[in-house]
Amino acid sequence: MADGNAAAKQNGVLGWIERSGNRLPDPVFLFFWLIAVLIVISILASLLGWSASHPTELDPDTGTARIITATSLLSAENIQRLWVEMPKTFTHFHPLGYVLVVMLGAGVAERAGLFGTAMRAGVRNAPLSILTPIVVLVGMLGNLAADAAYVVLIPLAGIIFHAAGRHPVAGIAASFAGVSGGFSANLVPGQLDALLFGITEAAVETVFGDFTANIAGNWYFIAAMTFIFLPVIWYVTDKVIEPRLGTWDPARAGRAADDEQGDRALSDGERKGLRRAGLAILGVIALWLVFLFGPGTPLIDETANPEAQLTPFYQSLVGGFFLLFLLAAWAYGSGAGTIKNHRDLVKMMSGSMEDMAYYLVLAFAAAHFVAMFAWSNLGLILAVEGADFLGSSGLPAWALLAAIIVVSSLLNIFVGSASAKWALLAPVLVPMLMLLGITPEMATAAYRVGDSATNIITPLMVYFPLILIFCQRWDKDFGLGSLAATMLPYSIGLLAVGLAMTIGWVVLDLPLGPAAEVFMEIPTTIDPTAPATAN
């Protein structure tokens, strides 16, 4: 088996992808290297006099188009800014606060066992006729649980398919496609929305000044992804993958594969915990309804324009998800016995922050890359020149967004982190598309489609080796190439329907979420002190 895996790693396109990707540095150092490259480019751009004329803004002194010039990052002003503002640059990086707040609650829900038990309850008694779509749906909803979905649901799906007389690897493939291929699909926004929209907000502010991201800005879009992706994964599993795998032969496991502990019945404590968690969730929803419609309507700004009155509500969703996850986890833990007192709760909250240690390091590097990109004015120049080029190309909006999806899907093969890729792309793509009248929410949605589709075929995705081990539990000869070949039809199907869905969404000009549209008025200012004109 080792020789087979080695051959699979070395041969063909997958082998080339793995070798090429392994040569890339860790995403943290990737950002540091990019900062070094950015410094060199900024010096050259300043010496060469790179500049751009803003298409709509006039210089108040001359009455002509305002000129944007490149600035060296080794100028005295920028050197001072780098060292003096380093703490501010890090702590004011928008994704940081969003993600840490949500994870304070979600991390407790994972540690208390709420996520794992809820996923087990969702799939273990699924009717055989709809076993595949139930597994897939729970997988897509389970991506709210991040790591728990990979380590709990995916191996459990193999056990459940085996118990149903079906090929266990087909169950693993279906759940992997749901959790990772449908990474952005969900019925409600979650921590991924907080993460990506935090980066989007930072990208807008580097060019247009103050901007507040709407964490629910892709709500309708990701909900539609859930219902559009589900039948695709269902069809590929039942009509393509399982027939290709054939009838499972227990002898291929190479060792005992009859451990059904993952499929054990829920205990009385777990059932009690789930009931309490359900009541806690209803309580948080009721509380937010009171905030919306109760005395004083604290989450509605009745003095604002009608389209902006719900802005406080959208901004409250980060805190709302924190409270929902935290109280649901506490309620579950009190019933299941995993949280005995408030000290256990605090310990779990602390543990969830320990899990974010790597992200904190990554955020430090990404924050400085984004900030320095803005200080150099290269983002402004690239956005204006890129918008001019794309505008003169005559390409419709749907074609531009389709190209972003394809580029994102290809980049995903080499850089697995969704946040790292978006931190690289957003500072150029978001302002450029805004200058063409496309909202930050739509740019983010297009990126998410491309990012999800190829998660399941790259060996560089952090959970890819773990999924391979899950498969080898049932088939000792199942290698890296086997897993990639199994997942490739899902990837192609998800990318195709994702492209079609995005194109249709743009052509029909459907809302992406509450107060989030596809198109916007082209901003008339890029003054860093002025807010952007956006929905």
Cα–Cα dist 30/120, whole Å: 38
Question: Which of 232-236, 422-426, 431-435, 511-515 holds the top average pLDDT?
Answer: 232-236
Cα–Cα dist 433/419, whole Å: 19
> Over 466-501, what HEC string results?
HHHHHHHHHCCCCCHHHHHHHHHHHHHHHHHHHHHH
> Is the pLDDT assigned to residue 315 strictly greater than 60?
yes
Question: Binning pLDDT at 50, 70 and 90, where does residue 145 land?
Answer: low
Poorest-confidence range of 74-88, 122-136, 279-293, 379-393?
379-393
- Angle between helices 168-176 and 131-142 in degrees, nearest 10: 40
CB contact at 8 A, 291 and 316 = yes
Residue 52's φ and ψ, nearest 5 degrees, are -150, 150
- Determine whether 130 is exposed, middle or buried from the number of CB atoms within 10 Å of its CB (0-12, 13-18, 19+): exposed
Cα–Cα dist 77/1, whole Å: 59
**pLDDT at residue 467, as a whole number:** 82
**pLDDT at residue 94, as a whole number:** 66
> Is the pLDDT assigned to residue 43 strictly greater than 50?
yes
Residue of 224, 119, 130, 232 whose CA lies nearest to 181: 232
- For 151-193, the pLDDT digits (tens) are 667 887 887 888 777 898 999 999 999 988 888 899 888 778 8
- For 460-482, the pLDDT digits (tens) are 566 776 788 788 888 887 776 78
Question: Binning pLDDT at 50, 70 and 90, where does residue 219 land?
Answer: very high
- For 412-463, the pLDDT digits (tens) are 776 666 777 787 778 888 888 988 899 999 999 999 999 888 888 876 566 7
Cα–Cα dist 487/178, whole Å: 11
H or E element: which one contains 387?
helix 378-393
- Tokens in use for 108? 């407790």
DSSP letters of 255-274? Answer: S-----GGGPPPPHHHHHHH
User: What average pLDDT score do residues 90-110 get?
Assistant: 79
Cα–Cα dist 167/474, whole Å: 9
Residue 438: DSSP 8-state: B
Output the average pLDDT for the chain: 80
Q: Is 217 helix (H, G, I), strand (E, B) or coil?
A: coil
**pLDDT at residue 256, as a whole number:** 43
Per the model's pLDDT, the better-predicted residue between 506 and 68 turns out to be 506
Cα–Cα dist 36/239, whole Å: 50
**pLDDT at residue 54, as a whole number:** 58
> Is the pLDDT assigned to residue 6 strictly greater than 50?
no
Tokens 């120049």 locate to 381
- For 258-300, the pLDDT digits (tens) are 444 445 678 889 999 999 999 999 999 999 999 988 887 888 8
> Is the pLDDT assigned to residue 527 strictly greater than 60?
no
Per the model's pLDDT, the better-predicted residue between 428 and 532 turns out to be 428
Question: Binning pLDDT at 50, 70 and 90, where does residue 146 land?
Answer: low
Residue 521: DSSP 8-state: P
**pLDDT at residue 2, as a whole number:** 41
- For 452-461, the pLDDT digits (tens) are 888 888 765 6
Cα–Cα dist 437/201, whole Å: 17
CB contact at 8 A, 190 and 215 = no
**pLDDT at residue 124, as a whole number:** 66
- Angle between helices 114-123 and 94-112 in degrees, nearest 10: 70
**pLDDT at residue 19, as a whole number:** 54
> Over 123-183, what HEC string results?
HCCCCHHHHHHHHHHHHHHHHHHCHHHHHHHHHHHHHHHHHCCCCHHHHHHHHHHHHHHCC
